[in-house]
Chain A
């Protein structure tokens, strides 16, 4: 209808063209952008992440009592390296440890000391009872030995043997790691932290 109408139609087609092009570009950018999100974000429960962190950094407290302590030292050495499973530093102070490996026979005089050391550990904490004497009194069924350390502290993993070889104790630590992972994010794990 004249020049104005022609100009109007021209501008309209140009704007539609730009919109078409931008739409393609935006679609392409949309596709790229959302793909990147899907590749770099994972969703999980907070509890599971905490459990994964705990199991890979279990720091044992030195509680070597008798013969089993020697095999525990052997586990910490270069042949059966416990450091590859996270249990590198054996903390001397129970306040800095979260795993207590009761290795050896617990006598009647030592049982209160065991309870005190266990109470001094901060939560969450786990106990491995290493050897036959710690699990059930072992070959010493008499007046002097506590028949199983689970009369004094709650135990998570029992490792039998007299003494258990370092590979057996390492398997016990791996089983404990599996237990931590299974419990992570559930009410059981929450019960450990009072």
Chain B
């Protein structure tokens, strides 16, 4: 301890290495950060990833295209339909087919419901880490309703694999549409409930304002995307800039923030909850009638009734089930706006029924170095808040 000129005691640098290990309740999955600390301040944060590496990219090179779809569900496991959609859009671009209107609208409805479900998990775990345990229980109550909707239309709660090449797996029923209408009538009151608990809460404001700040230029240079980029003031939403799957038919706003701190990211995501609900409401009103998958029998299975009468339908069915879709040679990349940011698949096809290279552009993977840069200079309690606000999912980081 030395004494400065003003007579104050000056602390010597007291450095310590702290391991926030792969098994930790607040790291949102198996993520390891090695923190170099000076007392309670973080000097540097070194991330270690790879604890959930599944080899999905290499396994996809040995499976047919339709077998890759369930594996894409398990990449970003909080919004599986977003990954499905990105994969199917990319392969359909290589096949150069278009999808019927009803399928596009159903895809939009399911993806927005998945976005709401993912943001509810984010809010629940982020608030739980910072200390608000009630929000955890409230958010799962609504998420259970969305998972019930998933189960009603596809049979599976989480990993639905509902979006297939050429359209969707099954058509929706009037009963299901009424259930979705009931849900979107019920939901806005609940968002108000969460906001009443958190938005003007002095503890929440103290713990989230001016922490983990990332400026606009830094966010673009560190390749952040999604709500993190929008909270730093960049108006970049792929649903508006590169509309896909019929998003140009809907009117919705893109919320942006000013400071780029944790509080802005919270506000952006809660506003996105409201906008997603708007999109689902408009899609339900405008849902057209028609086929739910493309007519081309080289891509999607023929109608079961025609199997009894038509020979071509039988042969197509056999070919599709045993051999799979043959995709022309080429390579392409289609980005999609997932709940965490820009999700995209870069697919190289060599003309056969098995892809040659499938690469996932994962928003959480690109966000990790930027996140560790944000942690420098803050207290250890803020590290937890920052990890929660970026909303990383280790399934897509490690693939």
Direct contact of A and B (CB under 8 A): yes
Task: Give chain A's interface residues, CB within 8 Å of chain B.
Answer: 62-67, 69-71, 73-74, 77-79, 90, 92, 94, 104-105, 107-110, 113, 117, 139-145, 162-163, 165
Determine whether the beta carbon of B144 is less than 8 Å from that of A79: yes
Determine whether the beta carbon of A92 is less than 8 Å from that of B24: yes
Determine whether the beta carbon of A109 is less than 8 Å from that of B50: yes
Determine whether the beta carbon of A165 is less than 8 Å from that of B395: no
Say yes or no: A113-B23 contact (C-beta < 8 A), given A65-B30, A107-B52.
Answer: yes
Determine whether the beta carbon of A66 is less than 8 Å from that of B157: no
Name the distance in Å between A123's Cβ and chain B's nearest Cβ. Answer: 19
Task: Pick the interface stretch among B8-16, B69-77, B334-342.
Answer: B69-77
B394 interface residue per 8 A CB criterion = yes
Provide the residues of chain B in CB contact with A94, threshold 8 Å: 23
Determine whether the beta carbon of B140 is less than 8 Å from that of A74: yes
7 contacts between A and B (CB under 8 A): A66-B52, A78-B140, A139-B70, A142-B55, A142-B59, A144-B53, A145-B54
B369 interface residue per 8 A CB criterion = no
Determine whether the beta carbon of A142 is less than 8 Å from that of B22: no
Provide the residues of chain B in CB contact with A63, threshold 8 Å: 23
Determine whether the beta carbon of A110 is less than 8 Å from that of B55: no
Give the size category of B's interface with A.
35 or more
Provide the residues of chain A in CB contact with B398, threshold 8 Å: 107
Name the distance in Å between A179's Cβ and chain B's nearest Cβ. Answer: 25
- Bound Cα distance from A54 to B22, whole angstroms: 28
B25 interface residue per 8 A CB criterion = yes
Provide the residues of chain B in CB contact with A73, threshold 8 Å: 140
Provide the residues of chain A in CB contact with B78, threshold 8 Å: 70
Determine whether the beta carbon of A107 is less than 8 Å from that of B25: no
- Bound Cα distance from A165 to B155, whole angstroms: 12
B137 interface residue per 8 A CB criterion = yes
Provide the residues of chain B in CB contact with A74, threshold 8 Å: 140, 143-144, 147
Name the distance in Å between A82's Cβ and chain B's nearest Cβ. Answer: 13
- Bound Cα distance from A74 to B109, whole angstroms: 23
* Residue picked from A73, A117, A144, most chain B C-beta under 10 Å: A144
Interface 1/0s, chain B 7-47, versus A by CB < 8 A?
A: 00000000000000111110001100000000000000000
Closest to B50 in A: A109
Closest to B158 in A: A163
Determine whether the beta carbon of A107 is less than 8 Å from that of B54: yes
B58 interface residue per 8 A CB criterion = yes
Determine whether the beta carbon of A139 is less than 8 Å from that of B157: no
Interface 1/0s, chain B 127-167, versus A by CB < 8 A?
A: 00000000011001101100100000000011100000000
Say yes or no: A113-B395 contact (C-beta < 8 A), given A140-B55, A163-B159.
Answer: no
Contact of B25 among A62, A110, A117, A140 (CB under 8 A): A62
B56 interface residue per 8 A CB criterion = yes
Contact of B74 among A64, A67, A109, A144 (CB under 8 A): A67
- Bound Cα distance from A162 to B71, whole angstroms: 11
Name the distance in Å between B368's Cβ and chain A's nearest Cβ. Answer: 16
B121 interface residue per 8 A CB criterion = yes
Provide the residues of chain A in CB contact with B183, threshold 8 Å: none
Determine whether the beta carbon of B159 is less than 8 Å from that of A162: yes
Provide the residues of chain A in CB contact with B53, threshold 8 Å: 107-109, 144
* Residue picked from A77, A142, A162, most chain B C-beta under 10 Å: A77
Determine whether the beta carbon of A165 is less than 8 Å from that of B55: no
Say yes or no: A145-B55 contact (C-beta < 8 A), given A67-B77, A139-B71.
Answer: yes
Determine whether the beta carbon of B158 is less than 8 Å from that of A142: no
Determine whether the beta carbon of B54 is less than 8 Å from that of A144: yes
Provide the residues of chain A in CB contact with B56, threshold 8 Å: 140
Provide the residues of chain B in CB contact with A165, threshold 8 Å: 157
B51 interface residue per 8 A CB criterion = yes
Provide the residues of chain A in CB contact with B52, threshold 8 Å: 65-66, 104-105, 107, 110
Provide the residues of chain A in CB contact with B29, threshold 8 Å: 64-66, 69
* Residue picked from A69, A79, A108, most chain B C-beta under 10 Å: A79
Closest to A117 in B: B23
Say yes or no: A105-B54 contact (C-beta < 8 A), given A71-B158, A78-B140, A163-B159.
Answer: yes
Name the distance in Å between A120's Cβ and chain B's nearest Cβ. Answer: 10
Provide the residues of chain B in CB contact with A109, threshold 8 Å: 50-51, 53
Provide the residues of chain A in CB contact with B23, threshold 8 Å: 62-63, 94, 113, 117
Closest to B74 in A: A67
- Bound Cα distance from A90 to B157, whole angstroms: 24
* Residue picked from A70, A104, A105, A143, most chain B C-beta under 10 Å: A70
- B51-69, CB < 8 A from A: 51-56, 58-59
- Bound Cα distance from A70 to B159, whole angstroms: 12
* Residue picked from B22, B23, B53, B56, most chain A C-beta under 10 Å: B23
Determine whether the beta carbon of A66 is less than 8 Å from that of B395: yes
Provide the residues of chain A in CB contact with B121, threshold 8 Å: 70
- B353-399, CB < 8 A from A: 394-395, 398
Name the distance in Å between B210's Cβ and chain A's nearest Cβ. Answer: 28
Closest to B22 in A: A113
- Bound Cα distance from A29 to B59, whole angstroms: 82
- Bound Cα distance from A90 to B140, whole angstroms: 17
Closest to A63 in B: B23
- Bound Cα distance from A144 to B57, whole angstroms: 11
